[in-house]
Amino acid sequence: MREFIVEADGGSRGNPGPAGYGAVVIDAATGQTLAERAEYLGVVTNNVAEYRGLLAGLRAAHELDPAASVHVRMDSKLVVEQMSGRWKIKHPDMKPLALQASGIFPPDRVTYEWIPREQNKHADRLANEAMDAGARGEPWEPSASTAELDAEVSGAAADAVVSTAGPDATVSTAGPDAAASRGAASTSPAGRAASATSASSAGRAASGTPASSAERTASATPASSAERAASIAPASTSTPASSPAPASTCAPTPTPTTPRDSAAAKAEADVRAARVVATPGWGAPDMGAPATFVLLRHGETPLTPQKRFSGSGGSNDPSLSEIGREQAERVAEALARRGTIQAIVASPLARTRETAAAVAARLGLEVATDEGLRETDFGAWEGLTFGEVRERYPDDLNAWLADPEARPTGGGESFAETAARIAATRDKLVATYAGRTVLLVSHVTPIKTFVRLALGAPAESLFRMELSAASLSAVAYYADGNASVRLFNDTSHLR
């Protein structure tokens, strides 16, 4: 069976920001580069770019030989651990990418290994070439790429630095993991071939052996000449996608902080923040990623602190107050850190469009509007406080509170009519944004109605929910018609 190495990487200049990936397919027997892939992705997160690089590398390997076995080497701990089955995939943008990657080759023919960044220079340079090309408004051109040459030159320079100190000195001061960081030799064809052959064999052996046993065997067995030549990491760093989790994995060698280190730290923070919309564990694995609606109520208007009815009736269309604009900036900053939003749809009213514009400016996205997301029409009650309505229209107010079919005074919109409108809008947007995460910028009644319908709660539950200005809620919609409320009235970004 033919064997390939896939080295892949991705990066984002801003996280999310202008991003790109690089991937290289190498013949494991000879170390020869067989294929290179790179692409500018637009604005996405660092982790999404890394997954896209993995996908491109696996697809390129599959095009070369669908029957081959593949050893994937990446410096992304997140991707390696998730694809090896040791870490759960909760980020809604990564799940479909991981699912696609796992379906290109049978799981028992793919192994994954974390490697230090220094050993992934070829793919890293391809990713940067793609981002540079995107910044110029051009596609990445394989014929103009110098990534392989740059990586080999850099690897040779690293070898020269190591050789001046002597291998024994490096090992004695840094311990056994220093051998892995010294593996710049693997950037040469022969070094990469030896490294991949030994590492992938170790991964297959580990798949049938408990981790602690495999580690003891590896530590007690003299290294082969190929292992010594390539200075590979311990066998426990490489495992098939379907194998049980080993007891430990190789940790990155500490290096001085660089802009890329900072980007990686921000990416990890994005993932942690996005866990507030955690995936429920009861869904069937073959349903694919849900359509996830992140529901953002607009920032404050002058009417908000006065608790006045402010719907979509008549000429009542207030803009954001100074406080509301500040709230919009804060939520925009929070959503940019999380890096999960792929599209923005807003109610056509002024306060929602202003809030959406602040977020869109941070995320580099366009804002679409949908009439279905507007607030309820409160008829003659527009601009009045609850007390003023009770004083002027007591019978109409009592009927409205008791019956979802009752309309506000003056021919406004009933809660039942609002619910029908929101249900139709939901179905349309779920179909449009299947498998994606979309920000819906709306109002109190529509957002509460999205949540109520997802829970199957009665209409009176609308009066039992508190929804603050500029708060975030989230609902996921699955292919089987079920929905899951993941977040409600989150205002942590305002504190």
Non-local (6+) Cβ contacts of 342 within 8 A are 93, 365, 433, 436, 437, 438
Residues carrying an active site annotation: 298, 375
**Using 50, 70 and 90 to split pLDDT, how confident is the model at 438?**
very high
Please determine, for residue 250, whether its predicted confidence score (pLDDT) is greater than 90: no
d(CA 190, CA 26): 11
The predicted structure's pLDDT at residue 58:
97
> How many CA atoms lie within 13 Å of 204's alpha carbon, on the beta-carbon side?
13
Sequence-distant (6+) residues with CB within 8 A of 376 are: 311, 312, 412, 413, 415, 418, 443, 445, 446
What's the confidence (pLDDT) of residue 137? 87
Instruction: Judge contact between 113 and 73, C-beta under 8 A.
Output: yes
Percent of the chain with pLDDT over 70: 72
Question: Left (φ > 0), alpha (ψ -120 to 50) or beta: where does 481 sit?
Answer: left
Average pLDDT, the chain: 79
SS (HEC) of the chain? CCEEEEEEEEEECCCCEEEEEEEEEEECCCCCEEEEEEEEEEEECHHHHHHHHHHHHHHHHHHHCCCCEEEEEECCHHHHHHHCCCCCCCCCCHHHHHHHHHCCCCHHHEEEEECCHHHHHHHHHHHHHHHHHHHCCCCCCHHHCCHHHHHHHHHHHHHHHHHHHCHHHHHHHHCCCHHHHCHHHHHCHHHHHHHHHHHHHHHHHHHCCCHHHHHHHHHHCCCCHHHHHHCCCCHHHEEECCCCCCCCCCCCCCCCCCHHHHHHHHHHHHHHHHHHHCCCCCCCHHHCCCEEEEEEECCCCCCCCCCECCCCCCCCCCCCCHHHHHHHHHHHHHHHHHCCCCEEEECCCHHHHHHHHHHHHHHCCCEEECHHHCCCCCHHHCCCEHHHHHHHCHHHHHHHHHCCCCCCCCCCCCHHHHHHHHHHHHHHHHHHCCCCEEEEEECHHHHHHHHHHHHCCCHHHHHHCCCCCCCEEEEEECCCCCEEEEEEEECHHHC
* pTM, entire model: 0.48
What token pair was written down for 137?
């408004």
pLDDT digits (tens, 9 = 90+) for 251-276: 344 444 444 455 455 445 444 444 44
165 compared with 119, residue with greater pLDDT? 119
* Count of CB atoms situated within 10 Å of the CB of 169: 12
Is residue 247 within 8 A of residue 215, CB to CB? The reply is: yes
Residue 295 class from Cβ within 10 Å (0-12 exposed, 13-18 middle, 19+ buried)?
Answer: buried
Q: How far apart are the first and last CA of the chain?
A: 58
Task: Name, in order, each residue with C-beta under 8 angstroms of 341's C-beta and a sequence gap of 6 or more.
Answer: 294, 335, 359, 363, 365, 437, 438, 439
The predicted pLDDT at position 15 comes to 75
User: Do 68 and 3 touch, CB atoms closer than 8 A?
Assistant: yes
Q: Could you identify the residue written with the tokens 């799981």?
A: 107
Please identify which residue in the block is written with the tokens 């990713």: 127
What's the CA gap between 173 and 181, in Å, rounded?
13
If one compares 440 and 197, the residue with the highest pLDDT of the two is 440
Query: What's the pLDDT band for 151 if we cut at 50, 70, 90?
Result: confident
Asked if pLDDT for residue 449 goes beyond 60, the answer is yes
Rg (CA), the chain: 27
Per residue in 36-82, pLDDT tens? 999 999 988 889 999 999 999 999 999 999 999 999 999 999 999 99
Contact call for residues 344 and 365 (beta carbons, < 8 A): yes
Query: Residue 418's pLDDT band (boundaries 50, 70, 90)?
Result: very high
Sign of the torsion formed by the C-alpha atoms of 480, 483, 484 and 486: positive
pLDDT in tens, 451-473: 999 999 999 999 999 999 999 99
Q: Which of 114, 122, 105 has the alpha carbon at shortest distance from 35?
A: 122
